[in-house]
A and B are shown apart, each in its own frame.
Chain A
Amino acid sequence: MTCNEIRELMPDLAAGLNPVTREVKQHLNSCPECAGKLEAFRQTMALLDQWQAPEPSPYFDVRLHARLREEMAKPASIWLRWVRKPALGVALAVLMVVGVTLFERGGIVPPSEPGPIADVEPGTAVGDLQALDKNHELYSDFDVLDDLEVQHDVTANP
């Protein structure tokens, strides 16, 4: 075994994850440098053992389950659903391409002017609303006339 091969194994050897085989032992007996390094690695590992991580707090599970419930309550995005189903995605893409092609060739005529509104009999609710709409400008003029009348009265009776 070479020094490089021992070095590759050294982290596992120092951590005790790999057993010291006969070959490794032979090399360590004949190579004080590798033996010294392995011992130094073991000491470093022992030092690193002192760094303990805290246990999860009592609130960890509570908060995790609250976040999971929130996650479950979220509706899955419609677009994501399409993307996740390739067949539907392809169908949507084909439909879009066909639609755009037909539109460009004039196959689909976009609606130009809105059609004439059917006359509605006066006296009905719809008829009254239409009449109000048509007379809106006239009512606006009435307001101006009212204002003028008030002005006139003020001038007439100082």
Chain B
Amino acid sequence: MDRGLLAVGGGVSRPQAGAEAAARNNGLSDAEVMLRVKAGDEPAFEYLVQKYRRPMVSFMYRMAHNSAAAEDLAQEVFLRVYRSRGNYEASAKFSTWLYRIATNLAVNYARDTRHERPESTVSLDAPDENTGLTMDIADGSLTAEEMLVRRERMAAIRQRVQALPERQRLALVMHKYQQMDYRQIAEVLKLSESATKSLLFRAYETLREQLQKFV
């Protein structure tokens, strides 16, 4: 039963295994693919990993504000999905279930590291968190002053998003960066659709006020 994924990690290349799995799962919903994983189809799990690895890392990055932690947390999400495969019921969309697991992990991480995260500072010498490039080589078309302004703007965006109340932050990241609709966000956060709309309005309104000078 476990040989499929071991082969995926070993002899068969992952893109190849992912492509094979994608071809086999063509036309199936993610929930149906997950039911195949439940039945012991390991390459089907690889298909889900390949499909959701980027959105998961991106979601975790915006919740954890740290690339290394984001990757660890995204891996943990997939591990938890794999461990829970036996209990999976296709009563909701697979992505809703996935984001619920991710949300729990992100919230716990944020609570555990609340006192560890330093205030964001803007420095000319420090490499950019997103690109890993230092200011002098990050963008040749910008002057040092323009780069500094850009850094300051990015730091402000991160700080303001991070400072939002937990639920507002989660809703905003799912809406703005994961392109999830109200209904799905409501299901992940276990809220009514109306409450989710109100939550999102307040989150954007706060950011509009606080980031006004950068617009």
Residues of A within 8 A of B (CB): 7-12, 14-15, 17, 40-41, 43-48, 50-57, 59-61, 63-69, 71-72, 84
B51 at interface by CB-CB < 8 Å? no
B97 at interface by CB-CB < 8 Å? no
Given pairs A7-B201, A55-B54, 15 additional interface contacts (CB within 8 A): A8-B201, A14-B204, A17-B181, A48-B176, A53-B57, A53-B58, A53-B177, A54-B67, A54-B131, A56-B54, A56-B71, A63-B71, A65-B5, A68-B9, A69-B5
Query: Do B71 and A57 touch across chains, with their CB atoms under 8 A apart?
Result: yes
Query: Do B79 and A60 touch across chains, with their CB atoms under 8 A apart?
Result: no
Which A residue's beta carbon lies closest to that of B177? A53
> B2-29, CB under 8 A of A: which get 1 and which 0?
1001101100001000000000000000
Residues of B within 8 A of A (CB): 2, 5-6, 8-9, 14, 49, 53-54, 57-58, 61-62, 67, 70-71, 74-75, 78-79, 82-83, 86, 130-132, 153-154, 157-158, 161, 175-177, 179, 181-182, 194, 197-198, 200-201, 204, 207-208, 211, 214-215
Q: Knowing A53-B130, A54-B130, A60-B74 touch, does A11 contact B9 (C-beta < 8 A)? A: no
Q: How far is the CA of A78 from the CA of B70 in the complex (A)?
A: 33
A60 CB contacts on chain B under 8 angstroms: 53, 57, 71, 74-75
Q: How far is the CA of A60 from the CA of B79 in the complex (A)?
A: 13
Query: Do B5 and A48 touch across chains, with their CB atoms under 8 A apart?
Result: no
Contact sample, A vs B, 8 pairs, CB 8 Å cutoff: A9-B197, A11-B175, A40-B215, A51-B130, A51-B157, A60-B57, A64-B75, A71-B79
B132 CB contacts on chain A under 8 angstroms: 54
Which A residue's beta carbon lies closest to that of B59? A53
Interface centre among A9, A15, A60 (most CB of B within 10 A): A60
Q: A68 is contacted by which of B5, B177, B182, B198 (Cβ under 8 Å)?
A: B5
Distance in angstroms from A39 CB to nearest chain B CB is 10
